[in-house]
Structure 1
Amino acid sequence: MTTSTIAPIGANLRIWNKLQRLPFGNWIFTRALCLKAPYFRTIHPLVHELRPGLCRVSAPNRRGVRNHLGTYHAIASCNMAELAGGLMTDATIPSTHRWIPIGMTVEYKAKATTAVNATARLDSIPEFGDEPTELVVPVDVRDADGNTFVSARITMKVSKKSR
């Protein structure tokens, strides 16, 4: 018989889980996140779902994120991708580890003129050991009709925290 140890979850996922019991819990979580990482405030995000291997975030298409063509700005889309990918990574790795984005490739497929949703998803969750590893996180940013207009692949360096 084998026993498996459950890795301790990180603080962000623990806080997310607690706030889900409250009215407006995801709004409160998102506001606190934007206080910790103020740049994300520029897109006015709202986290809808967070668990190991998955994060879904939405943002309105408002004047502050539009380009000169009136469409959702490419860099605002990258900001959405980084937010979803980073939160998903943080919720996925054990609290004994840390992560940092070290690269991102982006494919701009279409224009978006609506509110947007970013989804970071891992089909399988790897085991994280003592050696640093690179985790490639795919993120799709979709318009209100569900069309993917930006695809990103964010490479995260995951390593054990020093004591």
Structure 2
Amino acid sequence: MPQIGACSKSLVRPNLPKSKVAVVTSSPTYRAWQQLDRVPGGSRLFSLAAMARVPYFASILPHVRRMEPGVAEVSVPKWFFLHNHLGTVHAIASCNAAEAAMGMLMEATVPTTHRWIPKSMTVAYLQKATTSLRATARLDPLDFTQITEGVELVIPVSVVDDNGVEVVHADITCWVTPA
């Protein structure tokens, strides 16, 4: 099965004109972000709505800070219910932050002509997470018209602490197909 991501550029088209990489039709999630991000407190309201739609993420109290085609950032506060037995942020909480960022990225990037689902995640725990976290997912511009069969997209997600130190790195593989 074809795979694209950080190592393979077979479907990545970084030099395409903006019209070729623009989202053909935005997802309802991305349209909601675009409307709410413009108003004071809108990103918090959007984040609450996202937790209502995907209740599992409520455990990490994600705050979507940035969401646009090619990049999404989600912050997660360090609070008691995310602690492990060492008093640091639990490893799986950081995985949830990575998955939330990836989901926001895909909702902003994948046009409604296609659909996506996470398939696997490879995680490296680099350091103890002793502060709040920020997960950033990135994807090079793609020409989705070239995706006519299912492909795997590898989404790299960097999870950093308040000091900007990467404490977790995740590569999340998503399966993308025409809708």
Q: Same fold (TM over 0.5)?
A: yes
Identical pairs, percent: 46
- 5+ residue gaps, structure 2, are 1-16
Task: Name which of 82, 86, 90 aligns with 1:65.
Answer: 82
Counterpart residue identity of residue 110, structure 1: Q
Task: Name which of 86, 101, 113 aligns with 2:130.
Answer: 113
Supply the distance in 1 between the matched residues of 2:100 and 2:120 (Cα, whole angstroms): 14
RMSD between aligned residues: 1.5
Q: Is the 8 Å Cα contact of residues 11 and 95 (structure 1) preserved in structure 2?
A: no
- 5+ residue gaps, structure 1, are none
State the 1:130 CA deviation.
2.1
Matched, 1:99 2:98: no
1:34-76 deviations in Å (ceiling 9; x for gaps): 0000000000110000000100110111010010000110000
Task: Name which of 142, 149, 160 aligns with 1:131.
Answer: 149
TM-score, normalized by length of structure 2? 0.85
| Displaced runs of 4 or more, over 2 A | none
Higher relative contact order (CA 8 A, sep 6+): 2
Supply the distance in 2 between the matched residues of 1:127 and 1:105 (Cα, whole angstroms): 25
Q: Size of the alignment, in residue pairs? A: 159
Supply the distance in 1 between the matched residues of 2:115 and 2:28 (Cα, whole angstroms): 12
